[in-house]
């Protein structure tokens, strides 16, 4: 009697190994763009337009300060003093620089704080540069009229001269904001950020 042919067990192929998945590089958390510059440079005007072009949210640290204090910036200066305002500004800037992932308009004096300067390191900081005449006109110091104690135009000029080198040092991109339509400035910034 013949024995039935031996059946070999089916060959088991080793399990297929999938190639490791390549994840898209994660964008570092933090702002898409940080706008810096003196009061009246256009950060709060250009910022929302830039954010819309980039499809990102907009945040203004001056608005954060006002929300935290429950009063406008000008009233904080008058009622609580400059140091109280600077403390609120520093806290608002530090929080926004850590949390916000869109376009951020930084209060003009926030850059004076060394801790804020450190947080700006490596971020896409855009300096909206504007001259004294433009700033004076935009904040209302170009009209004769009510006398304000002291010399507000002289203080403005001194502030601009003090901060300009700091703005220039912190920025990776400087855009002239004296002339031009805010939407054109937003388009220019968008193009320059894309080419970096």
How many angstroms separate the CA atoms of 79 and 135, rounded?
A: 25
* Helix (H) or strand (E) run with residue 115 in it: helix 114-120
Asked whether residue 145 carries a pLDDT value surpassing 90, the answer given is: no
In a domain, 128, yes or no: yes
10 Å Cβ neighbour count for 191?
10
Whether residue 1 is contained in a domain is answered as no
Q: Is residue 8 one of the residues assigned to a domain?
A: no
Q: 104 with 33: CB under 8 angstroms?
A: yes
Residue 18 counted as domain residue: no
* Range(s) of the domain holding residue 150: 33-194
Residue 9 covered by a domain:
no
Q: Number of folded domains in the chain?
A: 1
Write down the pTM of the prediction.
0.78
Q: Is residue 17 part of a domain?
A: no
Q: What is the CATH number of the domain that holds 70?
A: 3.40.50.300
Q: Sign of torsion, CA 33 168 137 40?
A: positive
pLDDT, tens only, 53-107 = 999 999 999 999 999 999 998 889 889 988 999 999 999 999 999 999 999 999 9
Q: Nearest-5° angle of CA 124, CA 54, CA 52?
A: 120
Q: Is residue 47 assigned to a domain?
A: yes
Q: Is 186 a member of any domain? A: yes
């Amino acid at each position: 009697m013949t024995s039935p042919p031996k059946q070999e067990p089916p060959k088991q192929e080793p399990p297929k190994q999938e190639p490791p998945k390549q994840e898209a590089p994660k964008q570092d958390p933090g702002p898409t763009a940080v706008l810096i510059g003196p009061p009246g440079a256009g950060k709060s005007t250009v910022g929302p337009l830039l954010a819309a072009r980039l499809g990102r949210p907009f945040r203004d640290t001056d608005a954060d300060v006002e929300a935290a204090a429950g009063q406008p910036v000008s009233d904080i200066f008058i009622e609580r003093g400059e140091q109280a305002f600077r403390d609120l500004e520093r806290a608002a800037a530090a929080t926004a620089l850590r949390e916000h992932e869109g376009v951020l308009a930084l209060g003009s004096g926030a850059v004076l704080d060394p801790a804020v300067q450190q947080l700006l390191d490596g971020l896409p900081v855009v300096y909206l540069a504007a001259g004294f005449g433009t700033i004076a006109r935009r904040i209302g110091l170009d009209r004769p009229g009510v006398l304000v104690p002291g010399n507000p135009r002289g203080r403005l000029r001194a502030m601009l001269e003090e901060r300009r080198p700091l703005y220039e040092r912190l920025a990776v991109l400087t855009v002239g904001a004296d002339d031009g339509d805010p939407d054109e400035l937003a388009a220019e910034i968008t193009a320059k950020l894309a080419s970096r």
